[in-house]
Amino acid sequence: MTVADASLPIETDALIIGAGPVGLFQVFELGLLGISAQVVDVLPHVGGQCMALYPDKPIYDIPGLPRCTGRELTQRLQTQAKPFSPTFHLSHQVTSVARLSDQRLQVQTNHSQTFMTRSLIIAAGVGAFLPRSLSLQGLSELEGRQVFHHADQRPATVAQHRVVVGGDDDAVGTAIQLAQQATGLDAGRVTLLHRRLALDASPDLQAQLQSLQAAGKIDFKLGQVTGLGMHGQHLQSLDIATPEGLSHSLPCDALWVLLGLSPQLGPIAQWGLAMSRKQLNVDTERFATSEPGIFAVGDINTYPGKRKLILSGFHEATLAAYAIAAYLRPGEKIPFEYTTASPRLHQRLGV
Ligand SMILES: Cc1cc2nc3c(=O)[nH]c(=O)nc-3n(C[C@H](O)[C@H](O)[C@H](O)COP(=O)(O)OP(=O)(O)OC[C@H]3O[C@@H](n4cnc5c(N)ncnc54)[C@H](O)[C@@H]3O)c2cc1C
């Protein structure tokens, strides 16, 4: 699959907001009808809730798959969508949608990527998964340079004093990875900072943490960050308040704030679409919203009898694809074909 980073306006027939399971299946259903899609997600990876909230938990109610984890389902959906070569714009949050005079939609992301799309499919789940942060003055200016909110982010230059804040699998796993990568001069300069002694990480990660602590490769400290110690534009320490009410300074030149993700509906509520209780109203024939050319599938939509299940989203994406094809090709009959029997579909699938 292609991952784009162009900043030029991108023209497309279909833009999908959300690369969760339903957004991924939407790519497939549109592809079968000859429509290729661009996909935007604020997360640095695809999979939505399946990857962000329960990658290793088994799901039991996907038709034909008696048991599969969130990660496995995501991989399978990616493989299924592959013949249609979707372009993914990850780590982009869609911030605005505006109607152009030619009826296309202009969609903008927080990283200044603009799309001109003929149809828009909102598969935004429970909202954009944004990392919880610390409310500290000056923190956002250091983002991407010395402060990181995703486990896989790394500073461009060697950091001597690395601090990971958090106590879940992500935080503990990141501290372990940093300590294991550390060699020579770097050894022993990784600190895991958590507000309490009990961690929310798996027993396996906690055991690894303990052995790295015993080997002097990780410091585990209790406390909360109350301020940033700056030297000009450069972060060099953290002000820490301990549970005992003491305060001290901790050297730090790279900080990972890994306090989990929180879904935020954010800008979607401002696009003037009819909503009920933070969900987009759709009909159950086309999954169209109140705005022509804008459709909504998966957890983000609502209609009588709605159930927030992956299976329901797959059905919605299928009917929405037919409605989008009809919208993009007015007057044309959209053929109904089986993947088992249609040479045209076989050609599109490359089988
Ligand atoms: C713990 C748990 C267990 C579950 N178990 C099951 C189960 O067993 N079976 C089942 O069927 N369902 C289960 N679910 C529910 C299932 O995960 C959801 O129904 C499903 O993920 C919905 O898919 P989606 O693609 O609609 O949305 P999501 O998976 O929420 O994906 C939406 C994506 O859109 C992105 N996004 C939102 N707004 C923006 C924006 N403005 N810009 C860019 N990106 C944006 C988000 O970052 C996210 O990645 C479970 C949920 C949880 C939390």
* Minimum CA distance residue for ligand 1 atom 10: 309
Count of domains observed in the chain: 2
- Average pLDDT value for the chain: 94
- Contact criterion met (CB below 8 Å) for 147 and 156: no
From 49, 68, 114, 295, the mutation candidate for ligand 1 (largest count of ligand atoms within 8 A of CB) is 49
Q: What proportion of the chain, given as a percentage, has pLDDT over 70?
A: 96
Looking from the CA of residue 126, the nearest atom of ligand 1 is 30
Q: Which helix (H) or strand (E) holds 324?
A: helix 310-328
Please state, in angstroms and as integers, the Cα–Cα distance from residue 323 to each residue in 55, 83, 280, 335, following that order: 32, 21, 17, 12
269 in the same domain as 341: yes
158 in the same domain as 91: no
Q: What is the CATH number of the domain that holds 74?
A: 3.50.50.60
Q: Does the structure show a pLDDT above 60 at 96?
A: yes
- Contact criterion met (CB below 8 Å) for 287 and 296: yes
- Per-residue confidence band for 1, with pLDDT thresholds at 50, 70 and 90: very low
- Nearest to residue 25, comparing CAs of 104, 159, 130, 125? 125
* Cα 136 to Cα 255: distance, rounded to the nearest angstrom: 13
302 in the same domain as 278: yes
Looking from the CA of residue 18, the nearest atom of ligand 1 is 34
168 in the same domain as 107: no
Looking from the CA of residue 22, the nearest atom of ligand 1 is 25
- Nearest to residue 119, comparing CAs of 183, 204, 26? 26
* Minimum CA distance residue for ligand 1 atom 33: 18
Q: Is the CB of 293 under 6 A from ligand 1?
A: no
Q: Examine the fold and report which residue of 238, 257, 276 is the final residue of a domain before the chain moves on.
A: 257
- Give me ligand 1 centre to Cα 228, in Å: 35
Q: Examine the fold and report which residue of 228, 257, 286 is the final residue of a domain before the chain moves on.
A: 257
Encoded amino acid at 53, one letter: L
Q: Is the CB of 128 under 6 A from ligand 1?
A: yes
pLDDT in tens, 142-171: 999 999 998 888 888 888 899 999 999 999
Looking from the CA of residue 298, the nearest atom of ligand 1 is 26
- Give me ligand 1 centre to Cα 209, in Å: 31
Q: Which helix (H) or strand (E) holds 27?
A: helix 21-32
Q: Is the CB of 127 under 6 A from ligand 1?
A: yes
Q: Does the structure show a pLDDT above 50 at 2?
A: no
67 in the same domain as 109: yes
302 in the same domain as 249: no
302 in the same domain as 189: no
- Contact criterion met (CB below 8 Å) for 129 and 29: no
pLDDT in tens, 250-274: 999 999 999 998 888 878 888 999 9
According to DSSP, the residues that pair with 262 across neighbouring strands are: 130
β 275-276/279-281 pair status: antiparallel
pLDDT in tens, 267-298: 888 899 999 999 999 999 999 999 999 999 99
Q: Is the CB of 18 under 6 A from ligand 1?
A: yes
116 in the same domain as 63: yes
64 in the same domain as 48: yes
Q: Is the CB of 125 under 6 A from ligand 1?
A: yes
Hey, is 298 helix, strand or coil?
helix
Q: Is the CB of 201 under 6 A from ligand 1?
A: no
> Which structural domain, as residue segments, surrounds residue 86?
2-130+262-349
126 in the same domain as 139: no
Which pLDDT score, from 0 to 100, does residue 158 have?
Answer: 82
Looking from the CA of residue 21, the nearest atom of ligand 1 is 25
102 in the same domain as 170: no
- Give me ligand 1 centre to Cα 126, in Å: 6
- Give me ligand 1 centre to Cα 116, in Å: 26
- Per-residue confidence band for 13, with pLDDT thresholds at 50, 70 and 90: very high
Q: Examine the fold and report which residue of 235, 257, 279 is the final residue of a domain before the chain moves on.
A: 257
Which runs of consecutive H residues, i.e. helices, occur in 143-234? Answer: 169-181, 203-214
105 in the same domain as 166: no
Looking from the CA of residue 48, the nearest atom of ligand 1 is 49
* Minimum CA distance residue for ligand 1 atom 15: 309
pTM of the entire predicted model: 0.86
- Give me ligand 1 centre to Cα 17, in Å: 12
* Minimum CA distance residue for ligand 1 atom 41: 94
Hey, is 230 helix, strand or coil?
strand
